[in-house]
Structure 1
């Protein structure tokens, strides 16, 4: 066959492939969206520091259900309370599956909340299919945005077990309340020791919240002076910052690039390995000392179940899943709640009249000596409203964790093909004008009726909604309330530079919204 014939056949094949692709795309009724560039898609259109702000602006032109492309990954973005509720709550069978976040997939090695059937070093879907067929259990580094997940059985088993076990150990109940109250006493004592001198609350709040998780998972708390404990908390903080940085987000689009280009990126994953080592050491300690008839914590319960199912080849109770599930609980349960409390203190410093109002209400209901308890919440409507408004304004995970179309979905007259990433944008719910009178400013009246009673707002979804809502929501709510009331009961918070210098806009705002850090002063209140 001569060169001209070969070129002619190649051209015919390419033309046929182009025609088939165009025909396929024309038959798919995708939601509308902006045009993108070859290879990059809409990547350059997004604000690299706060991509959700771009998505919110685009939705004004393309509607509450829109399509974008990041490289060759298709995204469908859901904007607004009505659309997100319809998807996550009213159609859970279509929208429950969790989408792959390459950063988290690599951090957990595909265990815990994710099931990675195979992550292949390849650039094409056919190559992936072939690799999966040849070696379905082998997992190596990602070199394609196509990450193959099986959310079903692993997620169901582990979530069901985790929820029931944490509840058995008191999550959201009286037993857990006592743990948090005990930790709040340690926190108050440590802040009292500052003697009204300026201090950075970042790691103090992380220690406090992390100790609650440690009691649940490891069966022990750590001293605020424990250097190893503090180094792990620093790793958690740095990891979340890296995940929210432009370089970190770039990895989620091009998983094979930043490892070669970014020293910070390599350091982040090296730090995660240190966390994994700490967790595995604790698991091994538990294996040597546990009593199956008297479990001390989550690890004991998991190891007991692992032993019970050791002869079940389809069991999801493995050491790998235990290690990564504990890592998930430790990362998520420490930084998000401590960040919320730290942001709350900045809000109270920014608005001293709000702080004084809370102090008067707490003093009238609890007094100055008794520790607060969860029963007090119904008698503290203004305090409860402030705490809810802090969470709304912080908007801790603005784009939510992505969901995933495991099959073709028909939604609101559009087609969402299998393999599409779905972004239910929580930012759009917590800032939606029809649900919030002043969505861009701090306003506790959002949660108060004309008589000053607390009122719920259905658009308050900082923990997401549906079957994939935050597994630790009840614990986080309890921690934030008890810690905040204890602190405001005992101290008046200020900063050396004055309230006018407090900036409530986030320092980082991509994967997570991270507030700015200030040295603060805690002045003990007079009885």
Structure 2
């Protein structure tokens, strides 16, 4: 069960039945964990015991047990170790990746400059983090008007909406009924189109790569590993699993960071007083001309607090189920091997015992009495333990550099005739808690801001979709 829809119900049930309770989803008995203490104990305290995924019907059909995020056991451990190693070798968390993020920031600001203060779709902001993911996966960035770029983002958008739909949740709970009704067919059709594009890209990259030679992308690393491992009896690096891993990285890397940046911009436009405080701090530390760098976060406590509060407040991915790999004891209960467990991340990010005003957007949650940045153990938007997000370091770097760069250069404003308070912060129905489709505008803060390209919202007819982009 993945849709965010039942999360409020689960939180209400926890108020009545406590932090650990059982629900029946169709014929499957599932354990729900609510609140910081129960979730932290399960994700961190159990080590490997809660590292598996239950067999989620739609993802069984899509990935056939492969990939990174919905695989389990030996295959998951091998592909995760490989992915972490490759991301490090490609500069994630280091200077080279920060340079690529700033290059993408320049492309994004060029598009925004071209808008001339006119409204643009909020979704446009997601193009920059999506392109950073593409650069990491494929070794090249795409022009924003590139048909492959547009097609991939449009398909990802449609897949995420379908995965969050009631019909797909019904399919996951009652797969036989769902299959009879064909509820899975629309999303599988879209996935096949994505997979076809990925196979084409893999074929382009599939030239002999020298053993132990440098790789320029995640795809290159997958191909190189497949060429080197003649004893790959489990097919960890065969084409099917290579496509599955790339598909996982593509979906997760584009949707999550893209949606978070959109939320950050929307919340800054809705809270101009908070936006102003961030800009005062940015001006003091960076001035108007020097671009932000990852190491600047230590000198920008309020900016860091705002970015952390955005991620806490939006509860982007409410929960993804786990599964006990062995007989496991949680909270005094013995759970047999194979028991599905839902750790409610939303309940941690909104836990009344951990946050002073959990339902409000309040950067003070991450500041001490002296205004210094305050780390919080209940800050778990990337999950925790063995299944913590493999792209956490990249996401943190992207979000900081892109948001700081945007606020350094622009005032983020609602469209004409709309007050900041009227901006809609109700999440859209999708796999993640993404913002609803709407428009913003930017006003340059410095008169010497160079002109950019023509605004996409006017020159290419980009519709105001719910996701990162739409197929032209």
State if a TM-score over 0.5 links the two structures.
yes
Report deviation, 1:317. Answer: 1.8
Select which of 209, 217, 230 maps to 1:310: 230
Does residue 422 (structure 1) correspond to residue 377 (structure 2)? The answer is: no
Select which of 165, 170, 194 maps to 1:250: 170
Does residue 65 (structure 1) correspond to residue 20 (structure 2)? The answer is: yes
Q: Partner of 1:4 in structure 2?
A: none
Local SS of the residue matching 2:175: coil
Q: State the alpha-carbon separation in 1 of the partners of residues 380 and 111 from structure 2.
A: 33
Select which of 62, 65, 89 maps to 2:44: 89
Does residue 449 (structure 1) correspond to residue 404 (structure 2)? The answer is: no
RMSD: 1.9
Contact 1:49 1:245 in 2 (8 A): no
Contact 1:183 1:211 in 2 (8 A): yes
Local SS of the residue matching 1:256: helix
Q: State the alpha-carbon separation in 1 of the partners of residues 398 and 412 from structure 2.
A: 19
Instruction: Kindly report which structure 2 residues correspond to 1:364-383, keeping only aligned pairs within 5 A, or say none.
Output: 364-383=284-303
Q: Partner of 1:173 in structure 2?
A: 94
Unaligned runs of 5+ in 1: 1-42, 116-148
Contact 1:309 1:315 in 2 (8 A): no
The 1:159/1:424 distance shift into structure 2, 3 A limit, reads same
How many residues align? The count is 444
Q: State the alpha-carbon separation in 2 of the partners of residues 81 and 49 from structure 1.
A: 18
Contact 2:51 2:325 in 1 (8 A): no
Report deviation, 1:225. Answer: 0.9
Q: Partner of 2:263 in structure 1?
A: 343
Does residue 522 (structure 1) correspond to residue 452 (structure 2)? The answer is: no
Instruction: Kindly report which structure 2 residues correspond to 1:116-135, keeping only aligned pairs within 5 A, or say none.
Output: none
The 1:503/1:282 distance shift into structure 2, 3 A limit, reads same
Q: State the alpha-carbon separation in 2 of the partners of residues 448 and 165 from structure 1.
A: 35
Instruction: Kindly report which structure 2 residues correspond to 1:39-54, keeping only aligned pairs within 5 A, or say none.
Output: 50-54=5-9
Contact 2:33 2:343 in 1 (8 A): yes
Does residue 210 (structure 1) correspond to residue 130 (structure 2)? The answer is: yes
Q: State the alpha-carbon separation in 2 of the partners of residues 337 and 360 from structure 1.
A: 25
Report deviation, 1:114. Answer: 6.6
Q: Deviations over 1:2-48 (max 9, x none)?
A: xxxxxxxxxxxxxxxxxxxxxxxxxxxxxxxxxxxxxxxxx9xx9x8
Q: Partner of 2:189 in structure 1?
A: 270
Contact 2:235 2:241 in 1 (8 A): no
Instruction: Kindly report which structure 2 residues correspond to 1:398-413, keeping only aligned pairs within 5 A, or say none.
Output: 398-399=318-319, 401-413=320-332
Report deviation, 1:365. Answer: 0.7
Of residues 157-166 and 517-526 in structure 1, the stretch that sits farther from structure 2 once superposed is 517-526
Report deviation, 1:338. Answer: 0.6
Contact 2:285 2:300 in 1 (8 A): yes
Of residues 160-169 and 282-291 in structure 1, the stretch that sits farther from structure 2 once superposed is 282-291
Question: Between Structure 1 and Structure 2, whose CA radius of gyration is higher?
Answer: 1
Instruction: Kindly report which structure 2 residues correspond to 1:125-274, keeping only aligned pairs within 5 A, or say none.
Output: 151-202=72-123, 204-261=124-181, 265-274=184-193
Q: State the alpha-carbon separation in 1 of the partners of residues 380 and 238 from structure 2.
A: 33
Of residues 287-296 and 511-520 in structure 1, the stretch that sits farther from structure 2 once superposed is 287-296
Does residue 397 (structure 1) correspond to residue 397 (structure 2)? The answer is: no
Q: State the alpha-carbon separation in 1 of the partners of residues 235 and 425 from structure 2.
A: 46
Contact 2:4 2:433 in 1 (8 A): no
The 1:451/1:49 distance shift into structure 2, 3 A limit, reads closer
Q: Deviations over 1:180-211 (max 9, x none)?
A: 01111111111111111011031x23321121
Local SS of the residue matching 1:295: coil
Local SS of the residue matching 2:121: coil
Q: Partner of 2:55 in structure 1?
A: 100
Local SS of the residue matching 2:439: coil
Q: Which has the higher contact order (CA 8 A, sep 6+)?
A: 2
Q: State the alpha-carbon separation in 1 of the partners of residues 208 and 114 from structure 2.
A: 36
Select which of 78, 82, 88 maps to 2:33: 78
Local SS of the residue matching 1:523: strand
The 1:49/1:405 distance shift into structure 2, 3 A limit, reads closer
- With normalisation by structure 2, the TM-score equals 0.90
Q: Deviations over 1:110-129 (max 9, x none)?
A: 211278xxxxxxxxxxxxxx
- With normalisation by structure 1, the TM-score equals 0.81
Contact 2:305 2:364 in 1 (8 A): yes
Q: Partner of 1:3 in structure 2?
A: none
Q: Partner of 2:411 in structure 1?
A: 492
> Which consecutive aligned stretches of 4+ in structure 1 deviate over 6 angstroms post-superposition?
none
